[in-house]
């Protein structure tokens, strides 16, 4: 269990460093730069380093440490709950940033800045985690270094099935995000953590359950699948899932078209009804509104 304790300490050290970076950036940078660059950079670094360490525990832990997947899933839930509480509005996920752009919640420049920051954060997180593994503080890291050069693809099923699995995970995740967008953090954070844990448990054996295009890039160098296979599964699959979730939830994609294709919108204003009566003498129709006297009443 000593190796597991070292990994847990590393995970919370990463969270602490990223939180310190966020606090410092918030004081030094403008709100726009902080929201688009600093938060996404820190969140992506935090997510990448944490997920790489957890993935190492998933692969080596059962036979190298004697603990089952329940331990890793528990850590995953706790970690994503911590992520949700500390990300400060960042997503660390390109499909979420694109969803905000399509919902007219973010401009093109802000979205591009977020995508660049996410890529930089993921790359930095991958490099730092590899450096940390090279120190071989535990037997897990020693084994990881021995097998790192011969890593295999995370796609363990047919290409179509893998793309469908990643797309479905992205679809469900984005539906939950859209539904809980206005909810309180006390409800939203554990709900999202539980959703990610469930999706990881379900789709993990087939694709690794990334449903995050930026995070999945860290495995593109592994043998067993070519670059186009990875693009179809880990980029196009989640993107299609996000678009399907947005269309199902909204009925339209505001950035592309305003017409609601799925749901009819009823007006919340009622049109007052107008009765038609006839003059006693002329017989011409006359509209009678509320408050008007009838022609049959005696006029003074």
**48 pLDDT above the threshold of 50:** yes
Residue 272 in any domain: the answer is no
Residue 173 in any domain: the answer is yes
Summarised one tens digit per residue, pLDDT across range 179-228 is: 998 899 999 999 999 999 999 999 999 999 999 999 999 999 888 899 99
**298 pLDDT above the threshold of 80:** no
Q: What is the pTM of this model?
A: 0.85
Contact between 139 and 121 (Cβ < 8 Å): no
Residue 81 in any domain: the answer is yes
Query: Where residue 62 sits, what CATH number does that domain have?
Result: 1.20.1080.10
Residue 33 in any domain: the answer is yes
Q: What is the pLDDT of residue 217?
A: 94
Domain boundaries, position 121: 2-250
What's the number of domains the chain is made of? 1
Q: What is the pLDDT of residue 274?
A: 56
Residue 92 in any domain: the answer is yes
Residue 274 in any domain: the answer is no
Q: What is the pLDDT of residue 62?
A: 74
Residue 43 in any domain: the answer is yes
What does pLDDT average to over the chain? 88
Q: What is the pLDDT of residue 297?
A: 47
Nearest to 43 by CA among 119, 128, 131: 119
Residue 162 in any domain: the answer is yes
């Amino acid at each position: 269990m000593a190796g597991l304790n070292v990994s847990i300490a590393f995970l919370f050290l990463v969270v602490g460093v990223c939180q310190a970076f966020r606090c410092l950036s918030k004081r030094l940078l403008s709100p726009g730069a902080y929201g688009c660059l600093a938060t996404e950079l820190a969140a992506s670094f935090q997510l990448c380093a944490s997920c790489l360490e957890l993935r190492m525990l998933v692969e080596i832990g059962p036979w190298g440490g004697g603990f089952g997947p329940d331990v890793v899933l528990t850590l995953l839930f706790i970690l994503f709950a911590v992520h949700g509480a500390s990300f400060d509005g960042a997503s660390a996920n390109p499909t979420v940033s694109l969803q905000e752009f399509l919902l007219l919640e973010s401009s093109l420049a802000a979205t591009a800045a977020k995508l660049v920051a996410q890529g930089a954060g993921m790359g930095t997180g991958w490099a730092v985690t590899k450096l940390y593994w090279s120190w071989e503080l535990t037997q897990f890291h020693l084994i990881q270094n021995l097998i790192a050069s011969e890593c295999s693809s995370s796609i363990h099923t047919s290409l179509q099935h893998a793309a469908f699995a990643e797309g479905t995970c992205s679809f469900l995740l984005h539906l939950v995000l859209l539904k809980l967008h206005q909810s309180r953090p006390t409800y939203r954070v554990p709900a999202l953590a539980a959703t990610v844990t469930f999706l990881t448990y379900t789709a993990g054996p087939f694709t690794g359950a990334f449903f995050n295009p930026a995070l999945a890039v860290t495995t593109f160098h592994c043998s067993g699948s070519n670059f186009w296979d990875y693009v179809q599964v880990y980029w196009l699959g989640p993107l299609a899932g996000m678009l399907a979730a947005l269309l199902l939830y909204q009925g339209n994609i505001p950035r592309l078209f305003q017409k609601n294709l799925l749901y009819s919108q009823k007006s919340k204003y009622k049109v007052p009804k107008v009765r038609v009566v006839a003059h006693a003498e002329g017989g011409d129709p006359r509209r009678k509104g509320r408050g008007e006297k009838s022609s049959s009443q005696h006029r003074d």
